[in-house]
Amino acid sequence: MRVCIESGCQMPAFNEYCKYHQFKLYTKGGRLYKPSPKAKNKGKEPRSSLRRTKPSPISSKRVLDNKSYRQVCDEIDREAIAMKEYVCFFCGGEIHGRCDHHHLRGRSGKLMTDKRYIVLGHNDCHTEHYHRYTVSQLLESGWYGSFCARLRMKDEITFEKEMRKLQKYFDI
């Protein structure tokens, strides 16, 4: 078995150094360096020039969808401010600054930009309370009853989905 070449170290080593002194492979004169790709590829074919950049994590179609979604959200915000209805759909309080956009029926396909099913909300009410709270915590919050009333007026289908969630909680 090989032993680390560092003086005074008797740990097993795979190359020259053990796992504790392996960093010394990448130091010269006390300074860290990164070995050149040529040194790694000795005797091998050079890397292909086709794959120098990472592929985009967002498809070109999704980029266009996001652009139109931002435009719709900005339009909803402008309309709400002009009509003096810039209020949180969850708690009913006035929104100061930036708001979140909640999709009542989801974000898939055309529902992503359908203004009928996008409502405004405080970031805290929307993400921290509504999406992360359990049903019992929602029932204890002061705004959940008025939220259900606003939901019933806005979209009956989503209201029924919310009621099924409550029925499932009370049946358990």
Write out the two tokens for 100: 């979140």
Instruction: Give the whole-number percent of the chain exceeding pLDDT 70.
Output: 83
Q: Where are the domains of the chain?
A: 1-31, 60-171
pLDDT tens track, the chain, 172 positions: 788 888 888 888 877 778 887 777 666 665 655 555 555 556 666 666 666 777 889 998 889 999 999 999 999 999 999 999 999 999 999 999 889 999 999 888 889 999 999 999 999 999 999 999 999 999 998 899 999 999 999 999 999 999 999 999 988 6
Closest by alpha carbon to 101, among 116, 122, 80, 82? Answer: 122
Supply the pLDDT for residue 62: 87
Which tens digits make up the pLDDT trace of 99-144?
A: 999 999 988 888 999 999 999 999 999 999 999 999 999 999 889 9
| Report field, pTM of the whole predicted structure over 0.85 | no
Report the alpha-carbon distance of residue 107 to residue 153 in Å, rounded.
21
Angle among Cα 97, 101, 103 to the nearest 5 degrees reads: 165
Closest by alpha carbon to 117, among 106, 108, 131, 129? Answer: 106
